[in-house]
Structure 1
């Protein structure tokens, strides 16, 4: 499995900055990510907080067992 460059918490933080009014292209340039990665993160974590993402990850790990 490919290792991701950004953690879930980092992606959620970047998305929070975007929701606060920053433009997508500016965020991508600032953090060194592609717009495709940004859109994938938005699809996966849109509207979540870091604690909700941790809970989701724990449930996914438990279901994998």
Structure 2
């Protein structure tokens, strides 16, 4: 997936501007599409601060890492059960 061109601080600033005016005006001012503003609004929740956005990203990354670890562990357990089930 292509990485965005805007930092967390810039996204929060655009969302704040969109709250103060309209999404259309903010989109024109910052050079993004209206759809990007609506997507960011859904993803980052309009009232978030920059630190909140960073914390959300950190938690999502950690959650992804833990899910991957759990999947690997489940796979190892399944392989061990298969090995144990075979008669030698």
TM-score between both structures, scaled by the size of structure 2: 0.65
Q: Write out per-residue CA displacement over residues 17-50 of structure 1, whole angstroms, 9 at most, x where no aligned residue.
A: 222x212211101111000001001111121111
The answer to whether the Cα contact below 8 Å between 2:12 and 2:49 also exists between their aligned partners in 1 is yes
Cα RMSD over matched residues? 1.2
Q: What is the aligned length?
A: 64
Structure 1 spans left out of the alignment, 5+ residues: none
2:43 aligned partner: 44
Higher helix share: 2
Structure with the greater alpha carbon radius of gyration: 2
Structure 2 spans left out of the alignment, 5+ residues: 66-88
